[in-house]
């Protein structure tokens, strides 16, 4: 067992989640590396000190570079806005320090590729923060697919739907400005990441991207509210992805359906401790989807609770993520999703924008070939 000093850049929503996760992960998973909350950085000294007191960090700073360069900070979590990710990551990699970076990986493809070059040039552990795919339920689904339980895959449908901007009277805020803060930068990466994790590479897309509410109290919306994506996977399987921040009634609609030749799967994050599985077995009269409640038999569940059906929650996903990050550092082996996996999501997002602009199918390879 060994201590490792953790520095977190950003103390807001995700900064808090990562701080709590790093505090708990050693006890939950009995990790060989035990995080010490060494330093937290925020935009002002006062807010940094406030976060440090609340989350249990030894020190605070309003200078992220001071955090990165501090000798007691041995691994870094980036939980700050997308346009800051590249600078922080490059500085960390130059010093040989591992980085867990929140999604989306960067504000632009150029920045994302530069971050990967820095990470791989330094040979340093790197991860992108896609946490929803880490639920015990979704990890179990990945096993089902790998085992061929539902046969040859024929169809995929994924979504991430929420309603935090469904009301036209909700005031203009930071999410309404800048392409990286819109639906395609904020929500769409999650179902795209799920599609890639469950189904493999996406070969081409046909996308439609729209702003539903163009004017809000306090400003004009400058990015998208929702998008629909037809896609074809490299395997030849067809699929569809929908993402929205104006989907009335939906709070955490990270969901997917997968149809195979011998069965089907359904999952919805609003009921994140259940997988619905259909197997084409037995008499037709008794066939139907059955609800499987997650429990100790499913990946990464038992360390939280010994009781089947008792369930895990959102914060537990971040703790699992912290465990994976520490495992990658400890073993020196990459753990999904790396920065390259984050870039793959960003390339699909860019292909969707190009498709929406042209009104045609776009090969994702076109984006990869662009420099």
Share of the chain above pLDDT 70, in %: 99
Is the pLDDT at 253 greater than 60? The verdict is yes
Say if residue 61 is in the same domain as residue 118.
Answer: yes
In this predicted model, what pLDDT tens digit does every residue of 326-341 receive, in sequence order? Answer: 999 999 999 999 999 9
Q: Write phi, then psi, for 21 (nearest 5 degrees).
A: -65, -45
Q: Considering only CA atoms, which of 323, 326, 301, 322 is closest in space to residue 313? A: 301
Say if residue 120 is in the same domain as residue 138.
Answer: no
Q: Quote the pLDDT of residue 154.
A: 98
Q: Quote the pLDDT of residue 276.
A: 98
In this predicted model, what pLDDT tens digit does every residue of 121-171 receive, in sequence order? Answer: 999 999 999 999 999 999 999 999 999 999 999 999 999 999 999 999 999
Q: Residue 303: is it exposed, middle or buried by C-beta count within 10 angstroms (0-12/13-18/19+)?
A: middle
Q: What is the DSSP string of 81-111?
A: -GGGHHHHHHHHHHTT--EEEESSS-SSHHH
Say if residue 43 is in the same domain as residue 66.
Answer: yes
On whether the CB atoms of residues 139 and 303 are closer than 8 A, the answer is no
On whether the CB atoms of residues 112 and 348 are closer than 8 A, the answer is no
Q: What is the mean pLDDT of residues 166-181?
A: 95
Say if residue 295 is in the same domain as residue 148.
Answer: yes
In this predicted model, what pLDDT tens digit does every residue of 227-242 receive, in sequence order? Answer: 999 999 999 999 999 9
Residue 123 tokens, joined: 């040979």
Query: What confidence category does residue 218 fall into, taking pLDDT thresholds of 50, 70 and 90?
Result: very high
Q: What is the DSSP string of 298-362?
A: STTTTTT-SSTTS---HHHHHHHHHHHHHHHHHH----SS-HHHHHHHHHHHHHHHHHHHHTS-E
Say if residue 146 is in the same domain as residue 246.
Answer: yes
Q: d(Cα 24, Cα 131) in Å, to the nearest integer?
A: 16
On whether the CB atoms of residues 126 and 324 are closer than 8 A, the answer is no
Say if residue 15 is in the same domain as residue 66.
Answer: yes
Compute the residue count for the chain.
371
Say if residue 309 is in the same domain as residue 256.
Answer: yes
Say if residue 141 is in the same domain as residue 118.
Answer: no
Q: What is the mean pLDDT of residues 161-182?
A: 96
Say if residue 152 is in the same domain as residue 175.
Answer: yes
In this predicted model, what pLDDT tens digit does every residue of 2-28 receive, in sequence order? Answer: 999 999 999 999 999 999 999 999 999
Say if residue 166 is in the same domain as residue 207.
Answer: yes
In this predicted model, what pLDDT tens digit does every residue of 60-77 receive, in sequence order? Answer: 999 999 999 999 999 999
Which residue in this structure is represented by tokens 């090969």?
363
CATH number at residue 173: 3.30.360.10
Q: Is the peptide bond before 107 cis (omega within 30 degrees of 0)?
A: no
Query: What confidence category does residue 371 fall into, taking pLDDT thresholds of 50, 70 and 90?
Result: low
Q: What is the mean pLDDT of residues 114-120?
A: 96
Q: Quote the pLDDT of residue 369.
A: 78
Say if residue 116 is in the same domain as residue 138.
Answer: no
Based on the structure, what is the number of domains in the chain?
A: 2
Q: d(Cα 130, Cα 138) in Å, to the nearest integer?
A: 12
Q: What is the mean pLDDT of residues 250-266?
A: 98
- Show the domain range for 297: 133-313+346-354
Q: Quote the pLDDT of residue 193.
A: 98
In this predicted model, what pLDDT tens digit does every residue of 28-64 receive, in sequence order? Answer: 999 999 999 999 999 999 999 999 999 999 999 999 9
CATH number at residue 30: 3.40.50.720
Q: What is the mean pLDDT of residues 177-192?
A: 95
Q: What is the mean pLDDT of residues 251-271?
A: 98
Q: d(Cα 264, Cα 357) in Å, to the nearest integer?
A: 34
Q: Does residue 328 lie within any of the structural domains?
A: no
Q: Quote the pLDDT of residue 113.
A: 96
Domain boundary (94, 124, 154) is at: 124
């Amino acid at each position: 067992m060994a201590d490792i000093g953790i520095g977190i850049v950003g103390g807001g929503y995700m900064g808090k989640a990562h701080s709590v996760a790093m505090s708990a992960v050693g006890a939950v998973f009995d990790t060989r590396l035990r995080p010490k909350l060494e330093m937290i950085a925020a935009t002002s000294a006062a807010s940094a000190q406030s976060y440090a007191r609340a989350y249990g960090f030894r020190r605070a700073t309003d200078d992220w570079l001071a955090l990165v360069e501090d000798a007691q900070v041995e691994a870094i979590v980036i939980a700050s806005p997308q346009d800051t990710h590249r600078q922080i990551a490059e500085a960390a990699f130059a010093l040989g320090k591992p980085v867990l970076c929140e999604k989306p990986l960067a504000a632009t493809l150029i920045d994302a590729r530069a971050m990967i070059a820095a990470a791989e040039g330094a040979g340093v552990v790197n991860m992108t923060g896609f946490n929803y795919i880490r639920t015990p339920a979704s990890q179990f689904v990945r096993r089902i697919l790998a085992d061929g339980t539902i046969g040859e895959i024929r169809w995929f449908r994924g979504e991430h739907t929420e309603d935090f901007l469904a009301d036209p009277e909700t005031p203009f805020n930071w999410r309404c400005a800048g392409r990286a803060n819109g639906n395609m930068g904020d929500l769409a990466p999650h179902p795209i990441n799920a599609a890639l994790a469950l189904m493999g590479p996406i070969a081409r897309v046909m996308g439609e991207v729209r702003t539903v509410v163009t004017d809000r109290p306090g400003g004009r919306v400058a990015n998208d509210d929702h998008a629909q994506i037809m896609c074809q996977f490299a395997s030849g399987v067809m699929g569809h992805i929908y993402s929205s921040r104006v989907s009335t009634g939906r709070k955490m609609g990270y969901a997917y359906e997968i149809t195979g030749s011998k069965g089907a799967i359904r999952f919805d994050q609003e009921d994140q401790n259940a997988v619905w599985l259909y197997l084409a077995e037995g008499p037709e009269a008794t066939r139907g989807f059955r609800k499987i409640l997650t429990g100790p038999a499913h990946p990464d569940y038992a360390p939280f609770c010994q009781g089947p059906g008792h369930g895990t929650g959102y914060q537990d996903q971040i703790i699992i993520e912290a465990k994976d990050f520490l495992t990658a550092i400890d073993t020196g082996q990459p753990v999904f999703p790396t920065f390259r996996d984050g870039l793959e999501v960003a390339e699909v997002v860019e292909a969707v924008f190009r498709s929406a602009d042209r009104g045609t199918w776009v090969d994702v390879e076109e984006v990869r070939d662009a420099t």
